[in-house]
Amino acid sequence: MAADAAGLVVETSHLTKIYQDRQIALNDLTLGIEPGAVLGLLGPNGAGKTTFLRLVLGLHSPTAGWCQVFGRRMHPNAADVRRRIGYIPTNPQFPRGMSPIEYLDYMGRLFGMTRETRKPKLAKLIRAVDLLPQSGQPISNFTPGMTARLAVAASLINDPDLLIWDEPTHGLDVEARRGMLELIKTLAAEKTMILSSHNLSDVDEVCNHAAVLNKGHLIFHGTLQDLKGKIRKNHYELDLEGDQKSIAKSVQQVKGMKEVISAGLRHRRLELKLTDDVSNTGVLAMVFQTLFDNKVTLVTVRSIGMQTETAYLDLVGKEEQRGFARLYQPQAEAA
């Protein structure tokens, strides 16, 4: 990992962006991104995700506060810092009339890469993103999947230490999306990444940290586990097999346990809600023992819902309800 020794890759302090005194896009955002983190940037439309990314890249100047990348303050002329960043905007557009080879060569020259380093790198990337047959064709004829692959190649041409990808799976079909997620997992082993996404299952799959923005305000920043920890954990579904009477009897016994809040049976599927006061493993052990005693077989057991999505919606919902309270505890949730 080529991050600065013991330093944060990205650090912001009270970062605020107000457009023309009319729109508060980002409000007092303070966070740090450690080397090796894969940060999922979440939030509804207009939450300030793209504004945050543009401030990190130095495409926008902050109205107040500051943003440092690799220990250096970001501003529109910080070209040397941007040499260490690979960026993919949402719906990447390309200069007209260029082929992938010309475009990547242009990108390499924009990073100041000499011919000796640029040419072999672009050839390797075109092969890696599977655009070899189309390498001489105009980009304007490309499908969204091919365009996304080319944008990936462009973001990697300078061998960056930090990757900033704004909705990288946006508009991709299932196969292309899967390929993109696998690529992110591979790159995450050696790079620090910031991924802005609306797709929470993508974030759940590839990220280890999350930052949640709502109306320009950072309402959560921490590990994905911490985010999931903010929701009720003890909610399970158990698919059962066995005699109907035995199943009904065991459900009655489970309902009788004081640690069980509710136990509902529907078509041999038991929905179980446990209290938060005790260890879930102990209660589940008792439930399994009850099932065993009644000769009921357990087919599957799973935690209810998509936890990241639930946690995210919980957070946004709570933030909406806080009203004036958020004025007095601005960093309470984000800590």
Partner 1 sequence: MDATTTAAPPAPRFNPLLPYFAVFRTDLRLTVQSWVFRLWVLVSVVAAVGYGLYKFGIHREVGLVQSASEHTGVLLRSVGLVTLAFVSLLALSGVSGERGSVADSVLSRGISRHQYFLAKWHARTLVLLGAFAVLAAVVLTAYHFLLEPDVTLGGGVAATLVALAVLAAVIAWGVTVGALANGTVIGITLFWLALFGAIFLLSFLPDPFPSPVRAVTQMRSVLRGNYDPTEVAKLAGLFLTVALAGAAVGLVGYSRKDV
- Sign of the C-alpha dihedral, residues 35, 36, 42, 48? positive
Tokens of 33: 């991104």
- For partner 1, which residue of 83, 215, 230, 255 counts as binding (CB under 8 A)? 83
CB of 192 to partner 1, least distance (A): 16
Contacts of 162 (CB under 8 A, 6+ apart): 9, 10, 69, 70, 84, 85, 86, 191, 192, 193, 194
Helical spans, DSSP H, in 279-328: 280-293, 307-322, 325-328
The single residue listed with the structure tokens 């946690």 is 311
Instruction: Find, among 38, 18, 1, the residue nearest to 210 by Cα.
Output: 38
Q: Is 97 in the site for partner 1 (CB under 8 A)?
A: yes
Buried b or exposed e, range 62-80, using 16+ CB within 10 angstroms? beebebbbbeeebeeebee
Q: Is 117 in the site for partner 1 (CB under 8 A)?
A: yes
Q: Is 112 in the site for partner 1 (CB under 8 A)?
A: yes
Stretch of residues binding partner 1 (CB under 8 A), selected from 58-66, 208-216, 267-275, 312-320: 58-66
CB of 72 to partner 1, least distance (A): 13
- For partner 1, which residue of 7, 71, 95, 282 counts as binding (CB under 8 A)? 95
Q: Is 22 in the site for partner 1 (CB under 8 A)?
A: no
CB of 60 to partner 1, least distance (A): 4
Q: Are 28 and 217 in contact (CB under 8 A)?
A: yes
CB-wise, 12 or 158, nearer to partner 1? 158
C-alpha 114/C-alpha 241 separation (Å) is 66
CB of 113 to partner 1, least distance (A): 7
- For partner 1, which residue of 18, 24, 101, 110 counts as binding (CB under 8 A)? 110
Q: Is 21 in the site for partner 1 (CB under 8 A)?
A: no
CB-wise, 82 or 191, nearer to partner 1? 82
How far is residue 194 from each of residues 74, 130, 197, 212, 303, measured CA to CA in Å?
16, 24, 10, 12, 28
CB of 201 to partner 1, least distance (A): 25
C-alpha 163/C-alpha 20 separation (Å) is 29
Q: Is 61 in the site for partner 1 (CB under 8 A)?
A: yes
Q: Is 142 in the site for partner 1 (CB under 8 A)?
A: no
C-alpha 33/C-alpha 192 separation (Å) is 8
Binding-site size, partner 1 (CB under 8 A)? 37
CB-wise, 172 or 270, nearer to partner 1? 172
CB of 106 to partner 1, least distance (A): 6
C-alpha 63/C-alpha 260 separation (Å) is 52
Contact set with partner 1 (CB under 8 A) = 19, 54, 57, 59-61, 76-80, 82-83, 85, 87, 89-97, 106-107, 109-114, 116-117, 154, 158-159
